Structure 1
Amino acid sequence: MRVRPVSIGKDFLHECPRYAEMMQMLIAKGWVANHNLACIPFDYRYPPGETDFAEDLKKLIISQFALSQGRKVTIACHSQGCLLAYQFLRTQDPVWVARHIGLFYSLAGQFSGCSDCLRWAFQQEWSWDSHDKVASPSDMTWVGELALGLQSSIFGEAILYRWGQTSYRARDAQTLLREAGALAIAEATNRYALEKQTWFQKGARDHQPLPVPTRVVFGTGLLTTAGFDFAREKVPVSSCKDPQCQGLYSQKNPELIQTTGDQGDSAWMNRAPRMWLKHPDCEMKEFAGISHMEIFKNATVLNHLSKTIQETASGIDVCLQNSAPASRGSSMQ
């Protein structure tokens, strides 16, 4: 699918206005916007690999690599953008990746399906209302997000949804979608679920590290919505093929199922890379009390990014030098 961004790597502020403050903070550290500091926008209505994002990112890397006369590029990403960058790194020639990319730096990256996002499939569009406890700038057109499914390797046995007396875990996502009448999303999820993708299995199942130095940073210790608790207001309609049939659509404010995280992603999602990092105790860094939307403009975090770039640019990966391999459990809690 050809999705046409406004531009790619030419006008940072126009392409990625959400990260304007981060851009200014990096400029203060010596980067030059639209020269050695570029941004690539993405369209999350489609799953990873189904747009030209990877091709566009590769072209941008090649141009930056040439512009810097062979200096390796750092890929820094945030939230859903990290899943697209991760898919890119998993599907490219590892020799090419190691030659052109010096560091992969994830800021509150998403490396799984989004558990609370599943609600979009059978709820009314969320709003921009800052006083609404379940408000979101996203809506049900984000089929690409919903099609990722939920992964038991990441969410384990955690209860993510309830509907009356019935509980649903990650492995029950298809069941919930079908019972809720969200058949179109169920079909999309069944077709593209991350756990069915070879590139995703390299990390989640085979525990293969990426061929470049990697850092995964995120906030912790904040109450985070993992899913929702819906009331059973009517007898289920077996012939229902639309979310409005079963009564979920009319429940604007279901009870929240909460856990710890960064107020955007749960700790289960944030810690998912532990399964494939070489030295997760070193390569992952948690910042207490920093939220999902604050982490990319936090001075301490950006200092860590800058320091790590300097280290890897000089050929030093302190996590390889100082760390012994750690156990790669899913670290769920």
Structure 2
Amino acid sequence: MSSKGPKRKRYDSAGPGLQLDPAAKEQVHRLFEKKFTFHKPEDEKWMIRNLENQAEDQNSSKISENLSALKVKLNKLKDRLSDKDIIKWHTHTKFQHTSGGVMVELKTSYQIELCTQAWCKFYEILSQFPIVPEEILKGFTSVHLCEAPGAFISALNHFLYCKGVKAKWKWLATTLSPYYEGNSHGQMIDDDRFIRETLDKWYFGEDGSGNLMDSVIIDGLVTKATEHGDVNLVTADGSINCQDSPSEQELLVSELHYYETLAALKLLCKGGCFVIKVFTMFEEASITLMYILNCCFNQVDVIKPCTSKPGNSEVYVVCQDFIGQGQDETVCALQYIDNYNNGNSF
């Protein structure tokens, strides 16, 4: 006769709900704690260095060399996967994606509208960071960059509804227009269901392209946004097709990141928040961008949402409490970005 231990308690006696064992709880906590915070120096505020001093800074040069070495090491590791059967590899990564069932559960149990991976990631960010004020008295305005097909807007709408926000929410979005023949099919999202139903809230510029990597379109977007009042939140979930050169994804997308940041700094009101998707942080352009964001926002965190596939390089930078337009740091940041977008190195 074999002895059996006590049965595992699967449900909470106080009500329905799964009772996780300590190991499972620890695993869940680790999934939601993939983030780090930039800590500002206590003795002095962050300031953007001038070009001459940065060029002469030997310590910065050493750090850059170390990061370049890490990039090479990571790419060599990725190359070892090149000979794997793609179907078997996808099956493996899907099995290893611990939170892969979240999206399915949301669709079946809660009938979430436009429930995509992006929806899940942004809702997770909204739940972890106070980027939407708890008390919204005068309304709330958001602008969404590179937004197609519209999952961030849908997630924010659901979040505000669940929080019982009664104040009026205004939003404006832009993306590469699926109706502009000059845009490459490989760079656009082919799902325009949400765009068609909310077309009056989308801005594609005077030429109709929606190409954010054009300062004229950014200025037009800023002008359009002023009709909605102060902008409290800007999101940027853009990327560029890098299949031809996956090892250089970070560098290829860096220009887009600077245009997204340029738009955010011109749009946000004092105290506003900015959420931007970036990738690895090995390149000089990425390090400088993070420095700029730390100069312009009082709180900067980097998070890898648990609903983001663990095998990709994406992370989200959550910037809170914008210091405001006209501040010295903001003016310097805009000058740096303009310098970068004109093809000049730092």
TM over 0.5: no
Provide the TM-score with structure 1 as the length reference: 0.30
Provide the TM-score with structure 2 as the length reference: 0.30
